[in-house]
Amino acid sequence: MFGRLWRRRRVDDDTRAEIDSHIELLTDRFIRSGMAPAEARAAATRQFGNATWHREQIHTMNGIRWMDELWQDMRWSVRSIRHRPTLAAAVIVTLGLGIGSNTAMFSVVQATLLQPLPYRDADRVVYVRSRSAEDQSLTDAAAEDLQRWAPLLTTVDRMEARRWKSVLLTGGEGATRVRLLEVSVGYLDSAGSRVLSGRGLHPDDTRPGATPVALISERLWRSRYGARADLLGRTITIDAAARVIVGITTDIRSDTPGLRFMVFAALPTGGDAAKERALGVAWLKPDVTREAANAELQSVSASVDASGRAHTGTFEEPRNLFWRLSEFRTSQLALMAGVSLLLVIACVNVASLLLGAGQGRAMELALRRALGASRFRVARQMLVESLVLALVSGALGLAVAWSTLQFFVALEPGIQLQTQLETIRLDAGIVGYTIAVALVTAVVCGVVPALRGSATEPRTTLVEGSGRTATRQSGWPRAFVAVEVALSLVLLIGAGLVARSFLQMRLSDAGFAADRVLGVQIALPPDRYRAPEQRAAFFDDLRARASRLPGVTAVGFGYGAMPPTDFVAQGAFEADDGQRADFQAYLSHVSPGYFELMGIPLVAGSGFEARHLEASSASDIPVVISSSLRRRFWDSANPIGAGFRLTERGRTRRYRVLGVAGDASGGGLSRANCPKCQWQLYVPLPANRQYTEVLLRLADGAPPPTAALRVAIADIDPSVPSDESLRTAEVSLHRFLATARFRAALFGGFAALAVALVAFGLLAVVYHSVKQRTREIGIRIALGARPSQMRRQMLAHGLRPVIAGLVAGLLLAWLVTRTIATFLLGISPTDPLVFFASPALLAVVAVAAILGPVLQATRLNPVDVLRSE
Amino acid sequence: MAKGLGTDADKADVLQGTLDLMVLQALASMGPLHGYGLARRIEQISDDLLKLNEGTVYAALMRLQHRRWISATWGASENNRKAKFYAITRTGRRQLARYTSNWERISGVIGRLLRTAGSH
């Protein structure tokens, strides 16, 4: 079709040649029959007819009329938009904000949740995980389980496994933290990695007792080892274990953006290490559905796993880590939904603006109809106009999206996400998305105004336009108001819930002196601190130096002791008095004096003393429990001296309760008002650990001596990394809160924008309706109607769709807010305060928006109004 | 697409259907022809009864091409100039058959109508 248009010019040349040839042949014929050449030519031309006219006929036939007309419509639209700059600006800004925020959020979602999988034949990949028979919860399966299942499956081509952890890499080049990926033998190849030099992994590498080997990524080879050629065969130390480098591989892309793997090792196939969990990656045979494969897997895999839990294997849709973190996923998707809602509101707003403008243009449209434009043509003209507006808005939207992304980065939305945001570029995909959104927007915004505008009856409009008759009022603008109010209310309630939940986190007591504790993680290079005495000497030295720093009143050590901790004790709990439970609690290893240092009150019993550190492994482990944990198991009984067993991964430890501490925010503030999230165990820390946190208690008002502490560490041993973890507990918690703050700020922003749009939309609608009735109002007042009465009547009229919208919005919000319950901690998704305050706020805004134009109209002098017509 | 094409011309040209029919018929019986040859053939068949504005033939040819009832290839004319030769396609032949039977039915009806008109 377009080809024909492009070919049009060539076809015209062809036609001309053909016609010339025709006339020449005809001339020859006349000459042969005896005419003089000039005469023959004239006769031939006459017989052929008007050559130019014929050519034009053919030209038109080859054209595409609607394209020509579309072009005409575009030019006409641009002209008509230029004539009404205020309207155009309002539309473009409204849509630009809507489209821009949508694009920004989409690019975040795309960069985090929607990354394509890095595997070969990715369309057949499924992840293999373990589903608990008891509560259906999903976890990674034990590596040995994956190994057991793989050969039993006929629906699967092959299965690989991987797990990653953060490790300390030491050696001559200093200590650094990197991510180690432990993989089954074929994994690296399936993930598209090539061996650059040396060899890849071999099945022998996985056997217990084999020489531990490692492969390193090209990136690490270049950055840490300066791409030196003699690296193969060298021994490096990973978390205190020596490994021989046997190969260098190309970097592999992770399925989770921001996770960069530097070192690769074989996943053990035997011994205790094989009981640890790993993610299975399987390739289904072609044409096998996941359901069919799942049925098979479930039938062969039902068993009891190493931690004594009945479970089955299950094939899951392969999703990256971001997706599997349900709180993160829900939050991202909810924000995407919020931003889409905002765009719909913007759209409705624009539709009502265009509709209002259409009423103002009724005369013009009626004239066009009267002069013979078809209804289709007028409707199309108006649609083209909104298309032009939407495309301009799309361009503005891109600018808005770009600045919004900068704003996101400034909000520090959690560490993982932040690094990701900085790498987002507005690439072709994003621009394409924006254009698509703009086009859809144009149709959605434009269709009602176009249909209404083109439905104009020339006769009635021209008569009404004379101002001598009452004007029919369309129901559309009021319907738009109702829709807009309903959607904004949903957004406002959502934002209210998120904000309240966030404020609760902030306001709830951290349970300790967060602003008075400075912590740093210390990882001693294992090759230089092999002997326990060496480690003990380092920490003694550090304690002495740190306690001399200005403002420091106490020094302590811990492991997972600096809130928020992410160490968890998990397994089967059995108390001596017979209570059993599926148990999960935060676990902190702490030195004597920890509770005083942190400012965590001891409610009962006592804290640790030096003698507890030397407790032999045969006896019970002394433990301090949190108040929430005590309430669960020993609410009325005396917990001191009570004993319990905890079985983790087949290994049972016995504990005896030494004391009860107040609830502190070990797991982070976002777990406030969730008693189970406040379960915490404190156990003694051996004095000479390789990996330790140093905790300093600061005097009131003393600034944190961060730089001095760094210097003190470097003075003892410059090869000890005192990395970016050096910060006060308050800062740690603050960072921990960043994700929640990001969410609250965005929802708040969207909601504020939505309310502003509603106010603006209402104002426009009421303004138009009042303007149309100005004359009527003037007459009524002249006939003795009291202005106050008129005002009441008009306010009631304007509020009716608002009230309908509020009711609908409340119902809608009540239905949808439960989907975001995952990250609403501490408040119900139908929190009464939010459900009351949000509609109240919208109602106030609505009344204000309506009163403006109404007051203006009823204050007019009737004589002026009537005269101005 | 075809719907939007040359709708104004359709209304005006009463002879159009007839001309299309003649062009198709000529191409079907004579094989490929160029525009001039086609004009001559139509002139010859109609025994000069039908005085044709010869340019009209080209509009008809373009129309039939759009409908894919005829195809065109470049060749050389008798005076050794570049000329387009038109040939009827298979769909064109089917259409011709349909056209022909339609034409015969209508002309039969009109013929009967005209013969009986005077008897009342």
Q: What is the ipTM of this complex?
A: 0.80
Residues A690 and A770 in one domain: no
Give A590-612 pLDDT, tens digit per residue.
Answer: 988 899 888 888 888 888 887 77
Strand A277-284 vs strand A156-170: parallel, antiparallel, or unpaired? antiparallel
Residue B59 has its nearest CB partner, among A28, A54, A64, at A54
Q: Is B3 in CB contact (< 8 Å) with chain A?
A: no
User: End-to-end alpha-carbon separation of chain A, Å?
Assistant: 52
For residue B12, what pLDDT band results from cuts at 50, 70 and 90?
very low
pLDDT for the residue numbered A813: 92
Please report, for residues A166, A624, A659, A666, A676, the alpha-carbon distance to residue A588 in angstroms, rounded to integers and kept in the order given.
Answer: 19, 10, 14, 8, 16
User: Amino acid identity, residue A14?
Assistant: D
Last residue of a domain, one of A63, A82, A105: A63
Instruction: Give the percent of chain A with pLDDT over 70.
Output: 87
Picking from B54, B67, B78 by the largest number of A CB atoms within 10 A of its own CB, the best residue to mutate is: B54
The alpha carbons of chain A give a radius of gyration, in whole angstroms, of 37
What 3-state DSSP class applies to A738? Answer: helix
Retrieve residue A621's tokens.
């482990």
pLDDT for the residue numbered B116: 74
User: A412: alpha, beta or left, given left = phi > 0 and alpha = psi -120 to 50?
Assistant: left
Residue B77 has its nearest CB partner, among A14, A25, A58, at A25
pLDDT for the residue numbered A809: 94
Residue tagged 């600096």 (tokens): A562
- Domain for residue A103, yes or no? no
Give A713-734 pLDDT, tens digit per residue.
Answer: 888 887 776 655 667 777 777 6
Q: Domain tally for chain B?
A: 1
pLDDT over threshold 70, residue A473? no
- Interface size A-B, in CB pairs within 8 Å, comes to 69
Could you tell me the maximum CA-CA distance found in chain A, to the nearest angstrom? Answer: 135
- What is the full DSSP assignment across A41-78? HHHHHHHH--HHHHHHHHHHHHS-HHHHHHHHHHHHHH
Taking contacts as CB-CB distances below 8 angstroms, the residues of chain A near B55 are 19, 48-51, 53-54
Retrieve residue A336's tokens.
């995407």
Last residue of a domain, one of A319, A336, A351: A319
Q: Given an 8 Å threshold on Cβ–Cβ distance, is A22 in contact with B1?
A: no
Residues A315 and A340 in one domain: no
For residue A843, what pLDDT band results from cuts at 50, 70 and 90?
very high
Q: Given an 8 Å threshold on Cβ–Cβ distance, is A54 in contact with B58?
A: yes
pLDDT for the residue numbered A742: 79
Taking contacts as CB-CB distances below 8 angstroms, the residues of chain B near A22 are 35-36, 39, 54
pLDDT for the residue numbered A464: 57
Chain A residue with CA closest to B43: the answer is A47
Give A649-681 pLDDT, tens digit per residue.
Answer: 667 888 989 999 888 866 555 444 566 677 888
Q: Given an 8 Å threshold on Cβ–Cβ distance, is A61 in contact with B39?
A: no
Retrieve residue A628's tokens.
């929430």
Can you tell me the distance from the alpha carbon of A670 to that of A483, in angstroms, rounded to the nearest whole number? 34
pLDDT for the residue numbered B120: 47
Which residue stretches of A455-531 are H helix? 458-464, 476-507
Q: Given an 8 Å threshold on Cβ–Cβ distance, is B55 in contact with A25?
A: no
pLDDT over threshold 90, residue A807? yes
Give A210-261 pLDDT, tens digit per residue.
Answer: 888 999 999 888 888 888 888 888 888 887 788 999 999 998 877 776 677 8
Q: Given an 8 Å threshold on Cβ–Cβ distance, is B82 in contact with A62?
A: no
Strands (E), A117-270: 125-132, 138-139, 141-142, 156-170, 176-183, 195-198, 213-217, 235-238, 241-249, 263-266
* Alpha carbon of A445: minimum distance to chain B alpha carbons (Å): 28
Residues A308 and A280 in one domain: yes
Contact A280, A161 (CB under 8 A): yes
Contact A354, A91 (CB under 8 A): yes
Residues A49 and A174 in one domain: no
pLDDT for the residue numbered A803: 93
Taking contacts as CB-CB distances below 8 angstroms, the residues of chain A near B39 are 22, 26
Q: What is the DSSP letter of A274?
A: G
Can you tell me the distance from the alpha carbon of B41 to that of A24, in angstroms, rounded to the nearest whole number? 17
Task: Please state the rounded mean pLDDT for residues B35-49.
Answer: 80
- Reference A274, options A163, A197, A193, A379; nearest CA is A163
* Residue with the larger pLDDT of the pair A420 and A771: A771
Q: What is the DSSP letter of B76?
A: E
What is the pLDDT of chain A when averaged over all its residues? 81
* Alpha carbon of A94: minimum distance to chain B alpha carbons (Å): 37
- Domain for residue B91, yes or no? yes
Q: Given an 8 Å threshold on Cβ–Cβ distance, is B1 in contact with A1?
A: yes
Least confident among A80-94, A349-363, B74-88:
A349-363
- Provide CB contacts within 8 A for A518, sequence distance 6+: A695, A696, A698, A704, A705, A706, A709, A726, A727, A728, A729
* Alpha carbon of A12: minimum distance to chain B alpha carbons (Å): 11
For residue B73, what pLDDT band results from cuts at 50, 70 and 90?
confident
Task: Please state the rounded mean pLDDT for residues A797-812.
Answer: 92
Picking from B11, B36, B52, B56 by the largest number of A CB atoms within 10 A of its own CB, the best residue to mutate is: B36
Can you tell me the distance from the alpha carbon of A356 to that of A91, in angstroms, rounded to the nearest whole number? 12
- Domain for residue B97, yes or no? yes
Residues A472 and A549 in one domain: no
- Domain for residue A114, yes or no? no
Residues A584 and A627 in one domain: yes
- Provide CB contacts within 8 A for A808, sequence distance 6+: A482, A486
Residues A343 and A437 in one domain: yes
- Domain of B33, in residue numbers: 13-117
pLDDT over threshold 60, residue B119? no
- Provide CB contacts within 8 A for A349, sequence distance 6+: A94, A480, A484, A757, A758, A760, A761, A764
Angle between helices A326-360 and A729-782 (to 10 degrees): 20
Instruction: Give the percent of chain A with pLDDT over 90.
Output: 7
Give A541-584 pLDDT, tens digit per residue.
Answer: 988 998 888 888 899 988 888 877 767 787 788 888 888 887 87
Residue tagged 């274990």 (tokens): A241
Q: Given an 8 Å threshold on Cβ–Cβ distance, is A53 in contact with B39?
A: no
- Reference A364, options A171, A76, A743; nearest CA is A76
Residues A283 and A339 in one domain: no
pLDDT over threshold 50, residue B1? no
* Residue with the larger pLDDT of the pair B42 and A246: A246
* Residue with the larger pLDDT of the pair A337 and A523: A337
For residue B108, what pLDDT band results from cuts at 50, 70 and 90?
confident
Contact A283, A156 (CB under 8 A): yes
Strands (E), A252-397: 263-266, 277-284, 303-304, 310-316
- Domain for residue B1, yes or no? no
* Alpha carbon of B118: minimum distance to chain A alpha carbons (Å): 38
H-run or E-run covering A153: none
- Domain for residue B95, yes or no? yes
Please report, for residues A515, A547, A555, A582, the alpha-carbon distance to residue A552 in angstroms, rounded to integers and kept in the order given.
Answer: 13, 6, 8, 41
* Alpha carbon of B51: minimum distance to chain A alpha carbons (Å): 9
What is the pLDDT of chain B when averaged over all its residues? 77
For residue A395, what pLDDT band results from cuts at 50, 70 and 90?
very high
Retrieve residue B31's tokens.
């094989």
pLDDT for the residue numbered A587: 86
- Domain for residue B59, yes or no? yes
- Domain for residue A222, yes or no? yes
- Domain for residue A129, yes or no? yes
Looking up residue B65, the CATH number of its domain turns out to be: 1.10.10.10
* Alpha carbon of A47: minimum distance to chain B alpha carbons (Å): 6
**Phi, psi for A711 (deg, rounded to 5):** -65, -45
Chain B residue with CA closest to A63: the answer is B5
**Phi, psi for A367 (deg, rounded to 5):** -60, -45
pLDDT over threshold 90, residue A206? no
Task: Please state the rounded mean pLDDT for residues A616-640.
Answer: 83
Can you tell me the distance from the alpha carbon of A181 to that of A151, in angstroms, rounded to the nearest whole number? 23
Can you tell me the distance from the alpha carbon of A317 to that of A328, in angstroms, rounded to the nearest whole number? 17
pLDDT over threshold 60, residue B2? no
Residues A741 and A849 in one domain: yes
Picking from A4, A33, A61 by the largest number of B CB atoms within 10 A of its own CB, the best residue to mutate is: A61
Strands (E), A673-736: 680-684, 691-698, 727-728
Residues A154 and A179 in one domain: yes
pLDDT over threshold 90, residue A11? no
Chain A residue with CA closest to B36: the answer is A22
- Provide CB contacts within 8 A for B104, sequence distance 6+: none
* Residue with the larger pLDDT of the pair A788 and A356: A788
pLDDT over threshold 50, residue B4? no
Taking contacts as CB-CB distances below 8 angstroms, the residues of chain B near A26 are 36, 39, 54
Q: Domain tally for chain A?
A: 4
- Provide CB contacts within 8 A for A376, sequence distance 6+: A454
Please report, for residues A848, B20, B95, the alpha-carbon distance to residue B16 in angstroms, rounded to integers and kept in the order given.
Answer: 68, 6, 15
pLDDT over threshold 60, residue A441? yes
pLDDT for the residue numbered A839: 93
Neighbours of A342 (CB within 10 A): 25
pLDDT for the residue numbered B15: 56
Interface of B with A in 54-113 (CB under 8 A): 54-56, 58-59, 62-63, 66, 77-79, 81-84
Residues A490 and A618 in one domain: no
Could you tell me the maximum CA-CA distance found in chain B, to the nearest angstrom? Answer: 60
pLDDT for the residue numbered A364: 75
Asked whether the CA dihedral A322, A324, A326, A332 is positive or negative, the reply is: positive
Chain B residue with CA closest to A28: the answer is B79
pLDDT for the residue numbered B3: 36
Chain B residue with CA closest to A60: the answer is B6
- By the 10 Å C-beta count (0-12 exposed, 13-18 middle, 19+ buried), A146 is classed as buried
Contact A236, A214 (CB under 8 A): yes
- Domain of A30, in residue numbers: 2-63
Task: Please state the rounded mean pLDDT for residues A791-812.
Answer: 90
Contact A649, A555 (CB under 8 A): no
* Alpha carbon of A35: minimum distance to chain B alpha carbons (Å): 18
Give B85-98 pLDDT, tens digit per residue.
Answer: 999 999 999 988 98
Residues A763 and A821 in one domain: yes
* Residue with the larger pLDDT of the pair A321 and A486: A486
pLDDT for the residue numbered B6: 37
Last residue of a domain, one of A319, A351, A372: A319
Strands (E), chain B: 33-34, 70-76, 82-88
- Domain for residue B8, yes or no? no
Interface of B with A in 26-55 (CB under 8 A): 34-36, 39, 53-55
* Residue with the larger pLDDT of the pair A721 and A647: A647
Give A16-28 pLDDT, tens digit per residue.
Answer: 888 888 888 889 8
Retrieve residue A270's tokens.
């035997």
- Domain for residue B69, yes or no? yes
Taking contacts as CB-CB distances below 8 angstroms, the residues of chain A near B84 are 14, 18
